[in-house]
Every structure is written in structure tokens, then in C-alpha cells.
């Protein structure tokens, strides 16, 4: 009897010292369910472009023209290239918006030469194409919307003020971006820093005309 009592006491001590099975299960954290794998990233759409190499008297500039996003404006520029109408023209304007020439635009093209210009084209605003006047963008010079022909400009720095802005009054359609510089921004900056004449130019362009325009020797499609 004494032995049985001792055995019972020992078992009771063990039972008190050890938690119940239910308690043990509650204390063991549940293994978290594995999160489902993240969906693969959606690749950014790549739009087809056409490359054009412009050889100037200050060096080369290579453009990637937005054939898909700005088809009208790109087709117009390629007509001038394919018909060699830009050969012998020039970059004639440097609009400097900073003292060091790191911000602004350069403008070139046919300058209304009747032997060079082709019929004017419909305007493709940035709100339609999704493009923007970022650093190195190429865009068409124009007066009223739909008046662009053979003159264009290249931006140095982002010029968002040239984008279309439907919230503004009046002519709010901006300028038609149709590509970007992919090689030769050093040439663009060199042209930007060319000396300008204090007297040449009319209206807002006065003082922005390059004293010795930078010649465009050739403009050709490139691989």
C-alpha cells in the first residue's frame, strides 16, 4: 500500500510538472501557409522606332524616331531625310534658358526655303502620343497647330512647358515630340553653346540666332 501511494504521488508530480497535450499544441505556433508566388512583372511595351543619323559640321547626332506613337510626324521627317531635303540646311537657333547653356533647345531645318519644304502636316500633341519634352527629345517647330513642315528642335533638359496642356487657355496643344537623341548629345550641347548674334532674329528669337549656323551635312536612315 505504501508503495502504491508513493507511485501515485510520483505520477501526480509528473502530471503537474508536464503540461497537457492540449496546452502543448496551443503553445506550438502554427506553421504559416506559404504565400502564393508573386505574378511575373508585366514587360514594358517596346515601341518600334526608326534611326536617323544626322552629320553636322560639329559632329554626329543619332535619333530614334517614334514610328508607332507619332506616325504622322515621324513619316514627315523621314520624307525630308529620304529626299535629302535636310542636306545643306543648318542648326540656326540656340535658345539658352540657363547661363551655362545646360538648359534650352537648338533648332534646325529648312527655314521656309521653298526649294526644301514639303506640305504642312497635322499636329500630333503629346496628349495623343504619350511622349514628352524630356532631355534629348526631338520635336517639330510650328506656328499655329498644323503648320509644321521642315523645321525641328532638340531639347537640352526637360522642357515640360512645351507639352500639350488642355487646362491652359488658348493654343494649349504644345509641340509634337516624335523621337529622341540616342547618340550625340555632346554634339547637341556643343551647338547649344555656339555664339549667338545679339541682333539677328525676330520677336522672341532675337538674340537666339547662331552667329555661324552649324551645317547639317547629311541626314540618313541608320541601322
Q: How confident is the model at residue 25 (pLDDT cuts 50, 70, 90)?
A: very low
- CA-CA distance, 42 to 61, in Å (whole number)? 33
Q: How confident is the model at residue 8 (pLDDT cuts 50, 70, 90)?
A: very low
Number of Cβ within a 10 Å radius of residue 168: 11
At residue 13, the pLDDT reads 42
At residue 27, the pLDDT reads 55
Q: How high does pLDDT run on average in the chain?
A: 88
At residue 46, the pLDDT reads 85
Among 72, 60, 82, CA closest to 187:
60
C-alpha cell at 99: 547661363
Supply the Cα-derived Rg of the chain in whole angstroms. Answer: 34
What domains, with CATH codes, occur in the chain?
A: 49-222 (2.40.100.10)
Which helix (H) or strand (E) segment is 175 a member of? none
- For 30-70, the pLDDT digits (tens) are 566 677 888 877 777 889 999 999 999 999 999 999 999 99
Among 144, 145, 142, 141, CA closest to 153:
141
Q: How far is CA 161 from the centre of its chain?
A: 15
- The DSSP symbol for 196 reads B
Amino acid at each position: 500500500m505504501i508503495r502504491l501511494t508513493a507511485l501515485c504521488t510520483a505520477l501526480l508530480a509528473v502530471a503537474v510538472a508536464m503540461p497537457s497535450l492540449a496546452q502543448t499544441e496551443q503553445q506550438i505556433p502554427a506553421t504559416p501557409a506559404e504565400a502564393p508566388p508573386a505574378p511575373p512583372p508585366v514587360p514594358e511595351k517596346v515601341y518600334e522606332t526608326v534611326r536617323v543619323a544626322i552629320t553636322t559640321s560639329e559632329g554626329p547626332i543619332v535619333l530614334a524616331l517614334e514610328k508607332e506613337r507619332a506616325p504622322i510626324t515621324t513619316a514627315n521627317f523621314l520624307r525630308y531625310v529620304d529626299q535629302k531635303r535636310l542636306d545643306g540646311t543648318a542648326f540656326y537657333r540656340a535658345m539658352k534658358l540657363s547661363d551655362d547653356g545646360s538648359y534650352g533647345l537648338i533648332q534646325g531645318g529648312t527655314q521656309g526655303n521653298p526649294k526644301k519644304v514639303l506640305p504642312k502636316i497635322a499636329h500630333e500633341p503629346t496628349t495623343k502620343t504619350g511622349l514628352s519634352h524630356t532631355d534629348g527629345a526631338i520635336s517639330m517647330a510650328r506656328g499655329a497647330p498644323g503648320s509644321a513642315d521642315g523645321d525641328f528642335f532638340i531639347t537640352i533638359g526637360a522642357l515640360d512647358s512645351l507639352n500639350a496642356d488642355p487646362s491652359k487657355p488658348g493654343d494649349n496643344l504644345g509641340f509634337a515630340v516624335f523621337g529622341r537623341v540616342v547618340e550625340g548629345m555632346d554634339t547637341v550641347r556643343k551647338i547649344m553653346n555656339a555664339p549667338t548674334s545679339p541682333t539677328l532674329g525676330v520677336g522672341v528669337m532675337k538674340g537666339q540666332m547662331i552667329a555661324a549656323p552649324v551645317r547639317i551635312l547629311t541626314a540618313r536612315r541608320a541601322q
